[in-house]
């Protein structure tokens, strides 16, 4: 029987799963990446990786999101007659019993999304590329802003523009930039990171 490959939080596919969790991607996306980590299924090693690596960053993700994510993983394993680790069950239990307090927490609670920009090895010479080749941008918002199609939603165009800024930092270095409809502010953060001289933005 072939031994399971070790998952590294600093290299794909483990890095991709951890980055998606930090960014609070949909549970379907997380499930797909978890399967990829296990070669098509949620193996014991993948469950250990989720408990030891992903769940270390569960603070700020919100009870409902964590409950949906863990339930999705557990249901996937059980539906394939697999073995769910005791550690994963133990992580899930508190979220099962906290639903009564969720609405109250929702009014005052804040979540933390961490968007990871992963630089290719060819990009190490860029001034915007950190030594880890992984730039993490933290975004905070209230749980209420997660509902609907706006709020804390990060549009594809926002990600594309942010990637453009980080890929060509010399274009924006020392420039004055004005953004209309800044949304969550990701583009403005990236402009400040590459040292644009002045960043003005309008929130719609």
Whether residue 31 is contained in a domain is answered as yes
pLDDT at 202 over 90: no
Name the band, by pLDDT with cuts 50, 70 and 90, for residue 104.
Answer: very low
The mean pLDDT of the chain is 86
- Strand-pair partners of 201: 179
**Shared domain check, 58 and 37:** yes
The residue among 78, 105, 132 that closes a domain is 105
Q: 61-99 b/e with 16+ CB inside 10 Å = b?
A: bbbbbbbebbebbbebbeeeebebbeebeebbeebeeee
Domain count of the fold of the chain: 2
Among 67, 85, 105, which residue terminates a domain? Answer: 105
Residues 94 and 147 in one domain: no
Tokens 């890095």 sit at which residue?
15
Residues 47, 116 share a domain: no
Domain of 126 in residue numbering reads as 109-202
Instruction: Give a yes or no: residue 8 inside a domain.
Output: no
Report the percentage of the chain scoring pLDDT > 70: 84
Q: Does residue 154 form part of some domain?
A: yes
Among 116, 117, 136, 143, which Cα is nearest to 61's?
A: 143
Query: How many CB atoms are located within 10 Å of the residue 108 CB?
Result: 9
Q: Is residue 130 in a domain? A: yes
């Amino acid at each position: 029987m072939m031994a399971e490959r070790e998952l590294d939080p600093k290299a794909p596919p483990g890095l991709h799963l951890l980055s998606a969790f930090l960014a609070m991607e949909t549970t379907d996306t997380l499930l797909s990446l978890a399967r990829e980590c296990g070669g098509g299924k949620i193996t014991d090693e993948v469950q250990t990786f989720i408990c030891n690596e992903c769940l270390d960053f569960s603070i700020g993700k919100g009870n409902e999101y964590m409950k949906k994510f863990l339930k999705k993983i557990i249901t996937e394993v059980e539906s394939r007659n697999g073995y769910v680790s005791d550690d994963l069950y133990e992580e899930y239990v508190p979220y099962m019993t906290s639903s009564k307090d969720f609405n109250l927490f929702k009014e005052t609670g804040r979540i933390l999304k961490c968007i990871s920009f992963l630089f290719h090895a060819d990009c190490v010479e860029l001034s915007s590329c950190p030594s880890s080749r992984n730039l993490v941008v933290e975004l905070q918002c209230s749980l209420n802003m997660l509902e609907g199609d706006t709020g804390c939603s990060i549009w594809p165009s926002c990600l594309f523009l942010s990637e453009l800024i980080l890929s060509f930092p010399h274009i924006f270095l020392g420039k004055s930039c004005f953004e209309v409809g800044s949304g969550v502010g990701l583009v403005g953060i990236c402009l400040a990171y590459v040292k644009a001289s002045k960043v003005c933005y309008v929130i719609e």
